[in-house]
């Protein structure tokens, strides 16, 4: 039996999802004995004190330089799922961080933003790659975009440096979009905005990474975030370790990058920036219509112009009619409910503003090429 140590931490969604992926793979290997948190667990500090830790292989979330050096000195195969400290010979299975940043930038540009900012964790490869992908998508180089980076410990302390961060946030021209390298950074940034008098999202839209759903939903306003495929990362890490233990991966430092899943949109980015303020107001009202039941007439009734003027200016700015934009918003809401809940299709049709299941099916299949039930089964909205 091969003894496999799982050192990923179970105190956040990332660690728990990675662990699920590892466990799922381990159950297919009869010669693996997996040790995780609990009575049978060794953490990195315990391993450091043991002459023979007894492990045949380790899957770890390496988050400090000290832990990286400790694991490298053990002389046994290690697969790192964090990617923060490359160059020590570890295999790596982690998120495609450059692609994550690029998709974040593309999403924020699609909302109409032309000014951007970035908050990151200094000294880590994953944050740097997310920043680089974001800058590429925004068409900017570092001198063109405000960047604020501090240690992960600094970001985790909700009180430390609040005045410093507040001062930096005040220098960002409004409206702008801020990409935070993870949800911890995004939440502290959004909280500081509230204390500073910066309105989210009308002054500064904020997007995080990891989709820590409870934290993101409880935030005020709720935080939009890039969802990662953490279970796939765990499965890929276990596969790499298994190949190494069987002599199939003899070279050092193999890397498997897993693409992010999608952007989970919440209140912190529900805004549209347009040259025409009337169009921006119309889109913001469409996005704010939580149950999707407002029609074009009702949206226009809340705007300072007649419907004909709104329709003409809206189509000229977006290339869509108001009806098309409302339908798109209803379908996006339906997709979120399909992927994030086990609600029946009838409930989702009603909650998304379609009125009937038949209308929901027809509209969804026309846009996605699949019925809502088939789309849900494919797992496309994970």
Same domain, 91 and 237: yes
Same domain, 18 and 71: yes
Same domain, 244 and 333: no
Q: How far is residue 68's CA from residue 12's CA, in Å, rounded to a whole number?
A: 21
Q: What is the pLDDT of residues 284-308, one digit of tens each?
A: 888 777 677 788 898 898 899 999 9
- From 220, 238, 269, the end of a domain falls on 269
Q: What is the pLDDT of residue 46?
A: 56
Q: What is the pLDDT of residue 171?
A: 95
Bin 276: left if φ > 0, else alpha if -120 < ψ < 50, else beta: beta
| E strand or H helix at 95 | strand 91-95
Q: What is the pLDDT of residue 381?
A: 54
Q: What is the pLDDT of residue 123?
A: 86
Q: What is the pLDDT of residues 178-187, one digit of tens each?
A: 999 999 999 9
Q: What is the pLDDT of residue 38?
A: 45
Same domain, 215 and 246: no
Same domain, 174 and 74: no
Q: Which portions of the chain are predicted below pLDDT 50?
A: 38-42, 49, 51
What are the tokens at 134?
């974001």
Q: How far is residue 258's CA from residue 50's CA, in Å, rounded to a whole number?
A: 33
Q: What is the pLDDT of residue 25?
A: 94
Same domain, 151 and 213: yes
Q: How far is residue 27's CA from residue 156's CA, in Å, rounded to a whole number?
A: 35
Q: What is the pLDDT of residue 53?
A: 59
Same domain, 224 and 241: no
Q: What is the pLDDT of residue 379?
A: 65
Q: What is the pLDDT of residue 271?
A: 84
What are the tokens at 99?
């692609």
pTM for this one? 0.77
Q: What is the pLDDT of residue 49?
A: 47
Residues whose CB falls within 8 Å of the CB of residue 204, separated by 6 or more in sequence, listed in order: 117, 169, 172, 174, 175, 176, 177, 178, 193, 198
When divided into structural domains, the chain yields a total of 3
Q: What is the pLDDT of residue 238?
A: 95
Same domain, 103 and 222: yes
| Domain encompassing residue 248 | 2-95+230-261
Q: What is the pLDDT of residues 116-172, one digit of tens each?
A: 999 999 988 899 999 999 999 988 655 689 999 999 889 999 888 899 999 999 999
| SS3 call for 304 | coil
């Amino acid at each position: 039996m091969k003894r496999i140590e799982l050192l990923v931490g179970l105190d956040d969604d990332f660690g728990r999802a990675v662990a699920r992926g590892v466990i799922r793979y381990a159950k297919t290997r009869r010669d693996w004995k997996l040790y995780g948190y609990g009575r049978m667990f060794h953490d990195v500090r315990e391993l450091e004190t043991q002459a023979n830790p007894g492990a045949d292989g380790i899957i770890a979330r390496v988050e400090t330089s000290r832990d990286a050096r400790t694991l490298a000195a053990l002389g046994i195969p290690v697969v790192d799922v964090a990617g923060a400290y490359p160059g020590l010979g570890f295999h790596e299975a982690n998120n495609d961080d450059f692609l994550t940043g690029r998709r974040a930038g593309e999403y924020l540009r699609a909302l109409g933003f032309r000014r951007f900012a970035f908050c990151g964790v200094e000294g880590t490869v994953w944050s740097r790659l997310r920043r680089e992908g974001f800058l590429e998508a925004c068409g900017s180089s570092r001198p063109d975009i405000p960047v604020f980076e501090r240690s992960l410990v600094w970001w985790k302390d909700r009180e430390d440096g609040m005045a410093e961060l507040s001062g930096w946030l005040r220098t960002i021209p409004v409206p702008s979009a801020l990409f935070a390298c993870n949800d911890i950074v995004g939440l502290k940034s959004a909280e500081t905005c509230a204390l500073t008098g910066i309105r989210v999202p009308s002054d500064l839209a904020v997007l995080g990474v990891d989709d820590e759903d409870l934290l993101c939903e409880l935030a005020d306003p709720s935080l939009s975030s890039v969802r990662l495929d953490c279970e796939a990362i765990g499965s890929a890490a276990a596969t790499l370790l298994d190949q190494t233990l069987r002599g199939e991966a003899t070279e050092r430092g193999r890397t498997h990058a897993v693409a992010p899943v999608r952007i989970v949109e919440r209140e912190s980015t529900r805004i549209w920036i347009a040259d025409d303020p009337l169009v921006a107001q119309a889109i913001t009202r469409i996005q704010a219509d939580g149950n999707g039941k407002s029609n074009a007439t009702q949206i226009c009734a809340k705007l300072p112009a007649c419907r004909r003027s709104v329709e003409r200016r809206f189509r000229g700015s977006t290339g869509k009619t108001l009806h098309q934009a409302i339908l798109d918003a209803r379908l996006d809401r339906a997709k979120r409910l399909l992927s994030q809940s086990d609600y029946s299709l009838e409930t989702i049709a009603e909650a998304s503003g379609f009125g009937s299941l038949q209308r929901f099916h027809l509209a969804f299949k026309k846009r996605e090429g699949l019925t809502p039930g088939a789309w849900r089964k494919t797992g496309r909205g994970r």
